[in-house]
Amino acid sequence: MSTEITNHPNPSPEVPQETNRLPVVAMRGVVVFPGMTIHFDLVRETFLHALRAGMGKDRRVILVAQKDAIVEDPKPEDFYTVGVIADLRQVMRTPSGVTRVLAEGKTRISVSDFQKEADDYWTAAYDTLEEIEIPPEEKNEEEALGRCIKASFQRYAELLPQTPEEMAAAIFCEKDIKKLFEQIVFNLAYDYTEKQLLLEENSWLERLRKLYQLMTDELDILTLERQIQAETQESIDTSQRDYYLREQQRLIAEKLGDREDPEAEMETYLEQIQKLPLDEQNRKKLAKEAERLSGIPQGAQEAFVIRSYLDTVLSLPWNKSSKCKVNLEKAANVLNRDHYGLQKVKERILESFAVRALNPDAQGQILCFVGPPGVGKTSIGKSIAKALGRKYERISLGGVRDESDIRGHRKTYVGSMPGRMIGAMIHAGTSNPLILLDEVDKMGNDFHGDPSAAMLEVLDSEQNKTFTDHYIEVPFDLSHVLFLATANTLDTIPAPLLDRMEIVELGSYTREEKFHIAKEHLLKKQLKKNGLKGTQCRIPDEVLYALIDSYTREAGVRELERTIGTLCRKAAKKIVEGDCKKVTFSADTLPEYLGPQKFRPDLQSHEDAVGVVNGLAWTSVGGVLMPMEVLAMPGKGQVECTGSLGDVMRESAKIAVSYVRSVAARYDIPEDFYTKYDLHIHAPEGAVPKDGPSAGVTMTTALVSALSGRPVRGDVAMTGEITLHGKVLPIGGLREKTMAAYKAGMHTVLIPEENVPDLEEVDPVVREHVRFVPAKTLDTVLETALCPKGDTESTVISSTILPTPTACPV
């Protein structure tokens, strides 16, 4: 959770009060222009002090670029003398200790007279640089340069297809020369030294000339690069053609009886075997197989078996590896771009990257991502491989029942082949790929063997250095492979295999997370998949929320993506039929395209009522609001529980009744109620099974309300288990439960006091709108949830968070 520090600037250190002197923050590899809004991270202490000083100096600092971006502790001679005064819009401190800054360039200045302040940061005097405007007689040259720059950018966009379409359209349509200059300089990735030259130029016309020259030079480089790529591709095509022709020549010669010399073939194999990094014993074993070829007819089945075996062994990446350079910033950007949320998972992955950066030979734990379907376990593996620069291979273990699928078959059998591990290594072509073991919890076993037992050697860093496949029969080193695993549950994974993996749990997505994933990823993907542009099909935010709430109920986002795809297809049909050129969906018209709502909102009581309490429950698809109803009727003290309650919840009901008996006098309840009244405890939606240790406080509150006649507040929800003495016990799934309370409009949520630290994981929007009341005992629960004595009117509780630390210490 990032910490906002802009509202509480540190008044120290003191900054000199001259009007033309400000703290200096050096930028590495970045040049800021007036009007440019930029995000950057600060970790160097010198400039953190300058930033804090700038916060107390009208939130302004001087941003200048370093001449050499590698210099860690720059001096005045390392700074350029032209920079900008920037307004500090926002400053955030992340949990990792990095300060994240949002700043906007304002004025172009020249800096001088650098001074080192007491708190070890630099300040500098500055003078505003006036821009030399274009005289009227040179306006035609300005117009000509603008046209030339646009033409150059058009050619640039053609040579670089990955140029964003929105940016290209904005530049092509821009008529203001100054705005055109800003958009190109702000968005194109030129070297910072070249941008610095543009910033230092006072003449507007000369600045345009330099930009045009810069774009012309870049076009020359891109054109040459495209030419080299074309020539390389032509060379590859020629090589492939020659290979096919040689193969045809070999087959024709074989049909005519003009076969290759067996001795030459054996010598070729022996030469390649000598280059393998094997011990002498295994090298002799392979050489013996190659020597057998010389004494076997070329067309014999045994010769075919030996050739296949030797080709498989020689095709393994014995001496090939990918160059993996760990860059945490790049890795974080890749993970954040490909996946929304999952902060703990990303943090654990980055920690693993950091360890490998410090110790490339470290053999860490194998990460196993566990979570429900559709939450992004497999796609995270792809992102990790991309971030590390490793080859990506996926092995699906779902339904694997034969040990030979992992270790391979003996080469003496007909149709024998290596196992999936060796096959993945051959396909990857490197000795250090990333191999994703998908669905590791769905391996079976039968009389063919136990594949999970074969996986023990694969995933043990001390044993897989000499992994031996039954087919190749020589040890192969798997210790450089980065293994990842995915599973939906841990119940079916054998304990020895589970011990070799580190579990990283991926929970179900909340409503807000699904919304952001749909808006930032799924919608764009489906529009492209169905041939639509953003201007042809518009799905507003309220429609995405309606799809999440009323048409999908899942832990992941697969069904949500399919539903968005359905809307895109409906829009495509209307556009192709000519009914319209643009389709805009709304929440009111969704039933017309998708049919009636599949899921209704959670049952809830917004009015103060006797014997009705809003409880919170966790499910595999997120949190839900689960009302609990209690009815007290004259009878003989029987307790009836309905609503498909499991054993745990039935025991909670017994504890609740016993506790109410112990505190009956305190709440004006007849002490003999358990002999004169029958109690009926019911959880609606009786066909849905319910069980779990978090309904004790809900049942107790409903019982006290029903027996005392005091209403329960309708805007209060609660969760927690109890003991016989009224202590509230901690629960799990707080993040999902509080999101359900927020969706249902609950203003106050009662949580166990021991769960207060878990509030850090609750979504910020929920913490902003929901008041959390930690409860150590049931006295706090009943005091908060029950209306005051004699108060029969509905009561609305403030929706703000408690100001005291005891209520919400986050």
User: Looking at residue 352, which CATH number applies to its domain?
Assistant: 3.40.50.300
Q: Residue 33's closest CA among 147, 149, 200, 165?
A: 200
**Average pLDDT over every residue of 375-402:** 84
Q: Give the model confidence (pLDDT) of 737-790 as tens digits.
A: 888 888 778 889 999 999 999 888 888 888 888 999 999 999 999 998 898 876
Q: What are 108's two structure tokens?
A: 């172009």
pLDDT at 796: 32
Same domain, 382 and 304: no
* Range scoring the smallest mean pLDDT among 99-103, 151-155, 285-289, 709-713: 151-155
Q: Which pTM was predicted?
A: 0.55
Quick check: 21 pLDDT over 70? yes
**What band does 717 get if pLDDT is binned at 50, 70 and 90?**
very high
Same domain, 373 and 464: yes
* Range scoring the smallest mean pLDDT among 248-252, 510-514, 549-553: 248-252
Beta bridge partners of 39: 102
- In one letter, which amino acid is 308? S
**DSSP for 567-601, written as a single string:** HHHHHHHHHHHTS-S-EE--GGGHHHHH-S-SSPP
423 within domain boundaries: yes
How far is residue 395's CA from residue 392's CA, in Å, rounded to a whole number? 10
Quick check: 504 pLDDT over 50? yes
Give the phi and the psi of residue 721 in degrees, each rounded to 5. -110, 160
467 within domain boundaries: yes
Give the whole-number percent of the chain exceeding pLDDT 90: 8
Considering 128, 151, 173, which residue would you say is the last residue of a domain?
128
Same domain, 290 and 352: no
**787 to 425, 555, 667: CA distances (angstroms):** 68, 36, 12
Most confident of the ranges 336-345, 424-433, 679-688: 424-433
HSE-CB at 712 with a 13 A cutoff on CA atoms is 32
The larger pLDDT score, comparing residue 508 to residue 319, is at: 319
235 within domain boundaries: no
Same domain, 369 and 487: yes
Quick check: 2 pLDDT over 50? no
Residue bearing tokens 């080709």:
311
Quick check: 638 pLDDT over 50? yes
β pairing state of 467-468 and 475-476: antiparallel
Quick check: 277 pLDDT over 80? yes
Considering 128, 148, 181, which residue would you say is the last residue of a domain?
128
pLDDT at 16: 41
How far is residue 92's CA from residue 313's CA, in Å, rounded to a whole number? 54
Question: Is 431 assigned a catalytic role?
Answer: no
The larger pLDDT score, comparing residue 752 to residue 496, is at: 752
Q: Residue 364's closest CA among 382, 347, 380, 349?
A: 349
202 within domain boundaries: no
Q: What is the CATH number of the domain that holds 589?
A: 1.10.8.60
**Average pLDDT over every residue of 211-217:** 81
The larger pLDDT score, comparing residue 661 to residue 57, is at: 661
Q: Which among 195, 391, 411, 737 is annotated as catalytic?
A: 737
**What band does 177 get if pLDDT is binned at 50, 70 and 90?**
confident
In whole angstroms, what separates CA 107 from the centre of its chain? 38
Q: Residue 774's closest CA among 766, 783, 765?
A: 783
275 within domain boundaries: yes
Same domain, 429 and 558: no
Same domain, 624 and 753: yes
Question: Is 737 assigned a catalytic role?
Answer: yes
pLDDT at 9: 42
Ranges of H-type helices in 641-770: 647-662, 673-676, 696-708, 734-743, 764-769
- Per the structure, the count of domains in the chain is 5
Same domain, 642 and 781: yes
Same domain, 552 and 627: no
**407 to 428, 457, 475, 653: CA distances (angstroms):** 18, 10, 12, 53
Quick check: 427 pLDDT over 70? yes
**Average pLDDT over every residue of 70-96:** 88
163 within domain boundaries: no
Residues 6+ apart with CB under 8 A from 18: 125
Give the phi and the psi of residue 614 in degrees, each rounded to 5. -90, 105
β pairing state of 716-718 and 612-619: parallel
pLDDT at 604: 60
pLDDT at 250: 61
Asked whether 699 and 653 are in contact (CB, 8 A), the reply is yes
**DSSP for 203-219, written as a single string:** BHHHHHHHHHHHHHHHH
Q: Residue 476's closest CA among 597, 314, 595?
A: 314
Quick check: 562 pLDDT over 50? yes
Q: Residue 662's closest CA among 741, 778, 568?
A: 778
**What band does 795 get if pLDDT is binned at 50, 70 and 90?**
very low
Q: Residue 342's closest CA among 545, 507, 485, 501?
A: 507
Same domain, 263 and 359: no
Q: What are 701's two structure tokens?
A: 């509150």
**What band does 791 get if pLDDT is binned at 50, 70 and 90?**
low
Asked whether 558 and 373 are in contact (CB, 8 A), the reply is yes
Same domain, 643 and 728: yes
Residue bearing tokens 């509030």:
759
Residue bearing tokens 């076993």:
445
How far is residue 46's CA from residue 69's CA, in Å, rounded to a whole number? 15
Give the phi and the psi of residue 642 in degrees, each rounded to 5. -130, 165
Q: Give the model confidence (pLDDT) of 81-91 as tens digits.
A: 899 999 998 88
Quick check: 626 pLDDT over 90? no
685 within domain boundaries: yes
Considering 475, 505, 535, which residue would you say is the last residue of a domain?
505
**What band does 133 get if pLDDT is binned at 50, 70 and 90?**
confident
Same domain, 437 and 477: yes
Residues 6+ apart with CB under 8 A from 589: none
Instruction: Give the number of other Cβ atoms within 10 Å of residue 182's Cβ.
Output: 16
How far is residue 170's CA from residue 187's CA, in Å, rounded to a whole number? 11
Q: Residue 437's closest CA among 410, 419, 449, 418?
A: 419
Q: What are 540's two structure tokens?
A: 């507003």
**314 to 274, 287, 304: CA distances (angstroms):** 11, 12, 15
pLDDT at 711: 92
For the chain, the maximum distance between any two Cα atoms, rounded to a whole number of angstroms, is: 108
How far is residue 440's CA from residue 370's CA, in Å, rounded to a whole number? 10
Same domain, 682 and 723: yes
The domain in which residue 745 lies consists of 612-785
Average pLDDT, the chain: 81
137 within domain boundaries: no
Q: Which among 694, 705, 708, 743 is annotated as catalytic?
A: 694
Ranges of H-type helices in 690-769: 696-708, 734-743, 764-769
